[in-house]
Amino acid sequence: MQLTPKVKEILSWYESDNPGTKANLARILMEGRLGGTGRMVILPVDQGFEHGPARSFAPNPAGYDPRYMFELALEAGCNAYAAPLGMIEAGAATYAGAIPTILKINSSNSLSTTKDQAVTAGVRDALRLGCSAVGFTIYPSSEYQFEMIEELTEIANEAKECGLAVVVWSYPRGPMLDKTAETALDICAYAAHIAALIGAHIIKVKPPTSAISLDAAKKTYEKYPVDVNDPVARFKHVVQACFGGRRLVVFSGGEAKGSEDILNEVRAIHAAGGNGSIMGRNAFQRPKADAVKLLTDIMDVYKA
Amino acid sequence: MQLTPKVKEILSWYESDNPGTKANLARILMEGRLGGTGRMVILPVDQGFEHGPARSFAPNPAGYDPRYMFELALEAGCNAYAAPLGMIEAGAATYAGAIPTILKINSSNSLSTTKDQAVTAGVRDALRLGCSAVGFTIYPSSEYQFEMIEELTEIANEAKECGLAVVVWSYPRGPMLDKTAETALDICAYAAHIAALIGAHIIKVKPPTSAISLDAAKKTYEKYPVDVNDPVARFKHVVQACFGGRRLVVFSGGEAKGSEDILNEVRAIHAAGGNGSIMGRNAFQRPKADAVKLLTDIMDVYKA
Amino acid sequence: MQLTPKVKEILSWYESDNPGTKANLARILMEGRLGGTGRMVILPVDQGFEHGPARSFAPNPAGYDPRYMFELALEAGCNAYAAPLGMIEAGAATYAGAIPTILKINSSNSLSTTKDQAVTAGVRDALRLGCSAVGFTIYPSSEYQFEMIEELTEIANEAKECGLAVVVWSYPRGPMLDKTAETALDICAYAAHIAALIGAHIIKVKPPTSAISLDAAKKTYEKYPVDVNDPVARFKHVVQACFGGRRLVVFSGGEAKGSEDILNEVRAIHAAGGNGSIMGRNAFQRPKADAVKLLTDIMDVYKA
Amino acid sequence: MQLTPKVKEILSWYESDNPGTKANLARILMEGRLGGTGRMVILPVDQGFEHGPARSFAPNPAGYDPRYMFELALEAGCNAYAAPLGMIEAGAATYAGAIPTILKINSSNSLSTTKDQAVTAGVRDALRLGCSAVGFTIYPSSEYQFEMIEELTEIANEAKECGLAVVVWSYPRGPMLDKTAETALDICAYAAHIAALIGAHIIKVKPPTSAISLDAAKKTYEKYPVDVNDPVARFKHVVQACFGGRRLVVFSGGEAKGSEDILNEVRAIHAAGGNGSIMGRNAFQRPKADAVKLLTDIMDVYKA
Amino acid sequence: MQLTPKVKEILSWYESDNPGTKANLARILMEGRLGGTGRMVILPVDQGFEHGPARSFAPNPAGYDPRYMFELALEAGCNAYAAPLGMIEAGAATYAGAIPTILKINSSNSLSTTKDQAVTAGVRDALRLGCSAVGFTIYPSSEYQFEMIEELTEIANEAKECGLAVVVWSYPRGPMLDKTAETALDICAYAAHIAALIGAHIIKVKPPTSAISLDAAKKTYEKYPVDVNDPVARFKHVVQACFGGRRLVVFSGGEAKGSEDILNEVRAIHAAGGNGSIMGRNAFQRPKADAVKLLTDIMDVYKA
């Protein structure tokens, strides 16, 4: 299938990557209802790891079965499905070739008191499971951030040699950051920029709030203001931090909320030139028909 | 020997695994008095490591001789026998091919003040000793949990490449958890889910109590209640956390207790669709005839 | 994209393969005008290596530029494009993700007096170039056949670990075989069976003639006759030799010939349950419009 | 192109290095407007990592696009461009061979509370990206300094085997040092000397102030005084600490400041026999024409 | 230094290569009097290996000293200098960075009765010596051709990973080929095409004669004639065989001959779009002034 000019343009940004990595980026970008548009909606299901099974799946118990997630991603027409090793292993053969998968390589859990994650899979797993990308979380500002980044460095290098793409979840947290700071605009843009500098192909961050948190940065934002009360301006600033828009950036949906709130956020991402959404709990905790409806509505915004 | 439809169905859950791993799972599932039923009783003997020899074997000194354990497992018709390196080495030739073995790869001891374990064997040992699986303990919530998980990640990847099965003992303990929390229902289900996400083929957890321990989870359990006073409902919840029942889960017997208490617990596991019991001290600390009787009674429950 | 039931059935034949290999087989089977039918038309361009550039490309000089071949495969709606390293390198980035590629790992040339081939690429190349499969030629009956098979054995093992598919060109030639014998029905079926036995996922052989060549086999064919004068019966016999039809088998077009001859052959392959054609010179030596027309006509036969 | 006598002399200092490393040093020394003079102006852009994107690029938003930095370095006629992995990856193919690049191998960020850095790339990356050198920061006096130095030791050894040059940013900070001490003359000279002792080919330090900070050193400086109020004398002292001037040493520009201040500093470096400047924020935060003008003016000083 | 549009265009042909390899190709293409034109003159000195020292250097004994060759290449303004390990080692430090070098990795000698070569260096040597490329000879048609190609395959893969370029000398010789056949037009084009298919970045062949040698090819050349009596048409045909002109191809000067004959040949290469000459004996066996004059005259033709 011929790639669209938009997807070809995006691939041209990744000029140092080998054709294998480009092919896997193309597979993700050409898949599903948004295939070819340069926008993406990704279904991520690592909440069972992060928050435990009941908090994740009790609202819609069909989700206890990992095959449900593949089905949901396929029915909704997502670009890719991201999950930890066990979830991917449980459906990778049944859905082989049906939808690009992103193997989430490290995970934390709510039983941990440290801001770190465990590596639970490797590049060899990604190859044997037919994944298009590996996913990795870093916590900029954590006291473990440098170790996490160094783990990512090794995995990313190996993944790129093997023709896989690298997706980085960049979630600031640590002793310097209170709850507000974790999603403050300056911190969010910084986290996205760090992921780009480490060599991420796709960057995932949380939607930025209007806060400016880092003292050292406040002077800059006063002198070169961003209209922090305008969501579009905020998303634009994060896009800008991703190499002036030359790296793919997607935004998480965050905690479960109402559909209209989600769609408004998506409209702002779309207007700002963000590349899409990665939508977990807001999707799989609803009954499937509702989830497909929401994901489809989101995609319609991105297609406009 | 033809596999039973039940065992074939179980193997189908492990769709990403190679035939070698499936064959070893089949060997365990087709062995002994419960062979073919999809239920298992496994004899584990790592208590010498965990609690010291006298606490483990003084009640029935025959158990000091590792060959006794092979004999007990065989006579009782267990599905498999699990033990650390030295125990397996001491009988692996005499009982070669007689009963599937699970090489317990890491162990702790009562002389340690840290909630960690030492890796005492590797996949190459499991191959040279003819084991069907490797066993590994993680302590979710321990300050060492991420290191333990990363050790398991490497061992599990190598084991799967070599066609072995992976059994994970998932025992929550750590600074966030008091004694009650360690076996609370929500924590137990979480621990089982973590093992599934890391790619365990067989998950071993402790029987859950009626407690709900994690603050962040309480709201969920209020909204989507589990009948915590019904043991069957509790076991069902853990089974659900194992990919909706698509991963084998067995329950430890815990501390030595009376036969009727044990059998009642087994009846609940059976009714909940759990895959069986892993029964150490309650078996090998009794005289052999009593132990065989108890194990046989347990199996009769599972066969019903 | 959901796989068709036909493709799912085909993937189920490859039950020992990991999901990565299945995904790459699915990518080939779901691509192009025949996507989902279980039939394939593959464009192979290794004739420059085998016969030299002028004999290959002078009839249609556009073909000297490797990008032409990607374009031709895409426009015609082929399932995959197969070529040696240099040809793939020359277009793999421009056409990344646009069409599945098969990296032809070994090649011979007309300047050789030995019936052997040189390995000119490896699995690491296939990964970095984003290929879905590696292709390898063996010459059953050559004095070098065992070395060739051993090279294939190593490459196939590595490819399968990395989630790639393995395509084997099985072309009998050697001191025991005269020109007639090389495409005799018994020899052709034998060559296909050898490829299946070595673990090929896709088998490529030449269309069998009505000859029965091997003395040792004649008695069998007399006792259990094949209607050698019926092309459908001959193709059916080769399909049968591919594990009773449970391995994908495609037939080469051979030397350039008229369109109607080609289509008749294709009709016979189709009727016999063969999985398709691998069509080089008969495609790329015509002007592009003619080539697309012929390939489309062939696909229409297979779609019927 | 014949090397100049000056560059040949400089290469002769690196008598233990292999010709590959010398060739890469020569590439840097022969490039740009200062090519052949033995002086260098390097454009470093790791401030996005160190200070965040807005603080780095908001004053001149063109800099959000990594290609801008390659263009700026080229237009101004710099000797080399230094940046972290993502920045180099984003332009390494477009500007392949156009200007020597230095891959900054480790980086910190303003969200960290520890005086450490994360390794974000390796020598293999430097080779695949065509870099002439790797760059590494150490923090002498940090509680992590020995780990940092050991990381550098391994990377430098590998880089030298592969014919790359090693650039060391030596920035004292740690519990023993207050803000004044970090750039005190004795500390700065000490930091430069440590880098030389570790085997750096090019040493980068901050301009020294007139302070003498280390108690243990004060007696020496009293007995053998340096005219700390004369910038030339201070720079001379640092040059002296770099093996009596037999290692290349360049000075950072530090925080953004006025052009005349910068040029005065450059004049002092020039007079002291320092090898040049590494000028980031003072260059890329201005409009391009202004930046080129400033860099050109600096180079004119060094060429005099 | 900004690359010229012509060099950028040439680099774009190598779309699968990493920026390191592109940078080294750029270094060769931007060097010397032809820098930036897309044409090259390379000085190769492996004749001492191939023909012995006296046959090579007695006509101009200055050439016994390897440094002479670096000087000659530099003075004449060549794009690169190619030689075996010992020759490069003997001058690589003195001329580090002064001119791109090509490490000739394998060599034969006149004392051999077999058409094979010995590998005398590796990619690690190329890195430590600062070479921009490795060079490798294959003898298509030799009874050792497949072994030679397989050696090249491994070296080329490693070289590309390390960011080096690969130059292939493709010299047909073997039992099927008499002296005439070795340089026949069809054979020469075939040899060039084989090098391209193996993944060569720069292809070196001998100038083709008007002969058509391979029986199997004659029919093709009758049907699609090349004006074999026109040198320009012959060179054009070889250029065409190099992926329609999308791989760099240079022609050897062959045996020592008169300057005017050489220049006429160069004019034909130039008119045909060939990328240049690789000129050994005709250069270094003359007094240096004469050699520089001849090489300069050749370059003037290519610059026209």
Mind listing the pLDDT tens digit for each residue in E220-278? Answer: 999 999 999 999 999 999 999 999 999 999 999 866 678 999 999 999 999 999 999 99
From chain E, the residues in CB contact with D18 under 8 A are 93, 128-130
Q: Which residues of A are catalytic?
A: 204
Burial class for C174, CB neighbours closer than 10 Å (0-12, 13-18, 19+): middle
**Degrees (nearest 5) of the Cα angle B83, B89, B94?**
105
At A133, is the secondary structure helix, strand, or coil? strand
Amino acid code (one letter) for A297: D
Using the predicted structure, report yes or no on whether residue E303 has a pLDDT greater than 80. Answer: yes
- Active-site option among E204, E223, E257, E303: E204
Quick check: E19 and D163 CB within 8 A? no
Chains B and E touch (3+ CB pairs under 8 A): no
Widest CA span of chain D, in angstroms? Answer: 55
From chain C, the residues in CB contact with E217 under 8 A are 51-52, 54-55, 110
Using the predicted structure, report yes or no on whether residue C33 has a pLDDT greater than 70. Answer: yes
From chain D, the residues in CB contact with A221 under 8 A are 54, 58
- A218-235 mean pLDDT: 97
Q: Are C147 and C173 in contact (CB under 8 A)?
A: no
| End-to-end Cα distance, chain C | 23
> How many other C-beta atoms lie within 10 A of the C-beta of residue D289?
9
Burial class for E225, CB neighbours closer than 10 Å (0-12, 13-18, 19+): exposed
Counting Cα atoms < 13 Å in the Cβ hemisphere of C147 gives 12
Q: Are B238 and B205 in contact (CB under 8 A)?
A: yes
DSSP B34: T
Q: Are B167 and B137 in contact (CB under 8 A)?
A: no
- A259-266 mean pLDDT: 94
DSSP E32: S
pLDDT in tens, D23-49: 999 999 999 999 999 999 999 999 999
Q: Tens digit of pLDDT per residue, chain B (304 long)? A: 899 999 999 999 999 999 999 999 999 999 999 999 999 999 999 999 989 999 999 999 999 999 999 999 999 999 999 999 999 999 999 999 999 999 999 999 988 888 899 999 999 999 999 999 999 999 999 999 999 999 999 999 999 999 999 999 999 999 999 999 999 999 999 999 999 999 999 999 999 999 999 999 999 999 999 999 999 999 999 999 999 999 999 999 866 678 999 999 999 999 999 999 999 999 999 999 999 999 999 999 999 8
Cα separation of C66 and C76, whole Å? 16
For every residue of D277-297, which 3-state class applies, written as one string?
EECCHHHHCCCHHHHHHHHHH
- Per-residue pLDDT at E254: 66
Residue A61 CA, chain-centre distance (Å), reads: 24
Cα separation of D3 and E94, whole Å? 10
pLDDT in tens, E99-153: 999 999 999 998 888 899 999 999 999 999 999 999 999 999 999 999 999 999 9
ipTM: 0.95
Secondary structure element (H or E) that encloses residue D44, with its range: strand D40-44
DSSP chain C: -PPPHHHHHHHHH-TTS-HHHHHHHHHHHHSSTTTTSS-EEEEE--HHHHH-HHHHHTTSGGGGSHHHHHHHHHHHT-SEEEEEHHHHHTTTTTTTTTS-EEEE-EE--TT-SSS--EE---HHHHHHTT-SEEEEEE-TTSTTHHHHHHHHHHHHHHHHHTT-EEEEEE---STT--HHHHT-HHHHHHHHHHHHHHT-SEEEEPPP-S----HHHHHHHHHS---TT-HHHHHHHHHHHTGGGTSEEEEE--S---HHHHHHHHHHHHHHT--EEE-SHHHHTS-HHHHHHHHHHHHHHHH-
What residue in D sits closest to A149 (Cα-Cα)?
D118
Both tokens of residue E227? 């004006």
Q: How many helices (H) and strands (E) does chain D have?
A: 15, 10
For residue C249, what is the domain's CATH number? 3.20.20.70
Chains that touch A (3 or more CB pairs under 8 A): B, C, D, E
pLDDT in tens, E230-245: 999 999 999 999 999 9
Instruction: Give the pLDDT band (50/70/90) at residue D113.
Output: confident
Residues in chain E: 304
Cα separation of A230 and A224, whole Å? 15
Quick check: D97 and E30 CB within 8 A? yes
Quick check: B15 and C19 CB within 8 A? yes
- Per-residue pLDDT at D138: 97
- Per-residue pLDDT at E253: 81
Cα separation of C217 and D86, whole Å? 63
Both tokens of residue D279? 């000028």
Residue A56 CA, chain-centre distance (Å), reads: 18
- D144-153 mean pLDDT: 97
- CA dihedral sign, ordered C53, C56, C62, C67: negative
Cα separation of A30 and A32, whole Å? 7
Quick check: B157 and A94 CB within 8 A? no
Nearest by CB: D19 against E30, E31, E130: E130
Q: Are B249 and B239 in contact (CB under 8 A)?
A: yes
Secondary structure element (H or E) that encloses residue E76, with its range: helix E66-76
Residue D87 CA, chain-centre distance (Å), reads: 17
From chain A, the residues in CB contact with D47 under 8 A are none
Nearest by CB: E19 against D1, D93, D99: D93
Secondary structure element (H or E) that encloses residue D232, with its range: helix D231-241
DSSP-derived pairing of the beta strands A40-44 and A80-84 = parallel
- Per-residue pLDDT at D1: 85
- Per-residue pLDDT at A253: 82
pLDDT in tens, E62-89: 999 999 999 999 999 999 999 999 999 9
Pick among C69, C109, C128, C152 to test the E interface (most E CBs inside 10 A): C109
Burial class for A263, CB neighbours closer than 10 Å (0-12, 13-18, 19+): middle
Mean pLDDT of chain D: 96
- A72-83 mean pLDDT: 98
Q: Are B207 and B251 in contact (CB under 8 A)?
A: yes
Both tokens of residue B1? 């020997």
Instruction: Give the pLDDT band (50/70/90) at residue D8.
Output: very high
- Give the position of tokens 């003395």: C215
Pick among A68, A109, A158 to test the B interface (most B CBs inside 10 A): A109
Amino acid code (one letter) for D215: D
| Range of the structural domain that residue A93 is part of | 5-303
Both tokens of residue B96? 């070669």
- Per-residue pLDDT at B253: 81
- Give the position of tokens 């293999």: D124
CA neighbor of D176 nearest in space, from D222, D210, D217, D135: D217
- C27-33 mean pLDDT: 98
From chain E, the residues in CB contact with D3 under 8 A are 95-98
Domain count, chain C: 1
Chains that touch B (3 or more CB pairs under 8 A): A, C
Quick check: A19 and E16 CB within 8 A? yes
Cα separation of E40 and C266, whole Å? 50
Counting Cα atoms < 13 Å in the Cβ hemisphere of A44 gives 27
Cα separation of D270 and D267, whole Å? 5
> How many other C-beta atoms lie within 10 A of the C-beta of residue B93?
9
Quick check: E177 and C111 CB within 8 A? yes
From chain A, the residues in CB contact with E11 under 8 A are none
- CA dihedral sign, ordered A186, A191, A197, A200: negative
Using the predicted structure, report yes or no on whether residue E288 has a pLDDT greater than 80. Answer: yes
Chains D and B touch (3+ CB pairs under 8 A): no
- C189-218 mean pLDDT: 96
Q: Are B171 and B200 in contact (CB under 8 A)?
A: no
> How many other C-beta atoms lie within 10 A of the C-beta of residue C240?
17
Mean pLDDT of chain E: 96
Nearest by CB: C54 against E145, E198, E221: E221
CA neighbor of C284 nearest in space, from C274, C294, C275: C294
CB pairs under 8 A between A and B: 138
